[in-house]
Amino acid sequence: MGKKTAITVYVDNNKYGVEEFSWLYKSWIYSGCRETSDILLFCNPEVYDDLPEDAGIKKYRVEPLSDRDVVWSDYRFINSVEYLTTDIAKAAVSGYEYILRTDGDVFLTKNFSGLESRLTLFGTGCFVQTKDVADRIFSISQKLGLCFSHMYNTGSTLFSKTASVITYSKVQFDVCKYLLDNEFSEAGAWPGWYRGTLTMYAGDIAANAIFGLGFARVGIDCMSMSNEKISSTDYHIHAFHTNQYFSKLHLRAGDYDGFNLVSLDTSIVNNYCLFIAKSSVDSLIKHKKPCF
């Protein structure tokens, strides 16, 4: 019997894409999720050969939309949304019951292994911080004739039945196109209405329209800087832009180079992230079970 879950991710040829994917890859191995899920790795053809070969990874070359369509040339975030609307992706996921659509800079825990859920699970974003932004999202939903259940700040990661994720990705992408064409005569500025978070606004609109109250923001995109123990409902940890430990910014700066990985209590969220990020693939394969 085949695996039920596909973990899908798009890796672009940006400065950190391959490095960050290694965190997802290594945590997939160490957590035991390798036994219950496959990674469907969609990537910019330029980085195809830089990404790992593994029996549980299926790699697909997908030219980024930002290179194919000039209107998106300065907005590469769209590539991590559009890929699941392609015929290549829809064929690739067709044999799976569930999809986790995620980014590369994440860490799976053992609790994700074999996960099933009646509700769609989303991570949590923090892009709706003002009433003006909330009002605009609601107004645009009404303008497009879409229902909106007033659930804001849905994250970019989601876990759901395969057909639901494909439908969501299509609606999100269509709303992205509408927003680009109609709602950004000016770029705006964070934390107000801002073109830089266009895909996130579209995600909020799509999530409310498709799932209504049938989704939850739990267990996905847990914060990497937490110093609490990994709980049974922590499935997936995201490396947010933060200066708190664990910080991918500090990791890149070399601030964690002297840590003794063996002494880390990996039952703690931030320690677990550092342990995975700094360990080699070979050393993690030797561990039959995660030590948390």
Tokens of 104: 């590369």
Per the domain annotation, does 56 fall within a domain?
Answer: yes
The pLDDT, as a whole number, for residue 150 is 87
The pLDDT, as a whole number, for residue 288 is 53
Per the domain annotation, does 290 fall within a domain?
Answer: no
State mean pLDDT over 211-215: 91
Per the domain annotation, does 291 fall within a domain?
Answer: no
The pLDDT, as a whole number, for residue 286 is 77
Residue 177, pLDDT above cutoff 80: yes
State mean pLDDT over 128-138: 97
Tokens of 245: 């430990």
Mean pLDDT, rounded, of the chain: 95
SS3 track for 209-242: HHHCCCEECCCCCEECCCCCECCCCCCEEECCCC
Domain of residue 103, residue span: 5-285
Per the domain annotation, does 134 fall within a domain?
Answer: yes
Backbone dihedral angles phi then psi of residue 159, each to the nearest 5 degrees: -130, 125
The pLDDT, as a whole number, for residue 190 is 93
- What confidence tens digit (pLDDT) does each residue in 225-254 have? 999 999 999 999 999 989 999 999 999 999
The pLDDT, as a whole number, for residue 243 is 95
Per the domain annotation, does 292 fall within a domain?
Answer: no
Residue 287, pLDDT above cutoff 70: no
The pLDDT, as a whole number, for residue 285 is 82
- What confidence tens digit (pLDDT) does each residue in 84-115 have? 999 999 999 999 999 999 999 999 999 999 99
Cα–Cα distances in angstroms (integers) from residue 268 to residues 34, 113, 235, 292, in the given order: 21, 19, 13, 8
Per the domain annotation, does 241 fall within a domain?
Answer: yes
Per the domain annotation, does 138 fall within a domain?
Answer: yes
DSSP secondary structure string, 146-183? --------EEEEEEEEHHHHHHHHHHHHHHHHHHHHHS
CATH number for the domain including 151? 3.90.550
User: Per the structure, how many domains does the chain have?
Assistant: 1
Cα–Cα distances in angstroms (integers) from residue 77 to residues 175, 176, 207, in the given order: 14, 11, 18
Residue 49, pLDDT above cutoff 70: yes
Backbone dihedral angles phi then psi of residue 193, each to the nearest 5 degrees: -65, 115
- What confidence tens digit (pLDDT) does each residue in 161-174 have? 999 999 999 999 99
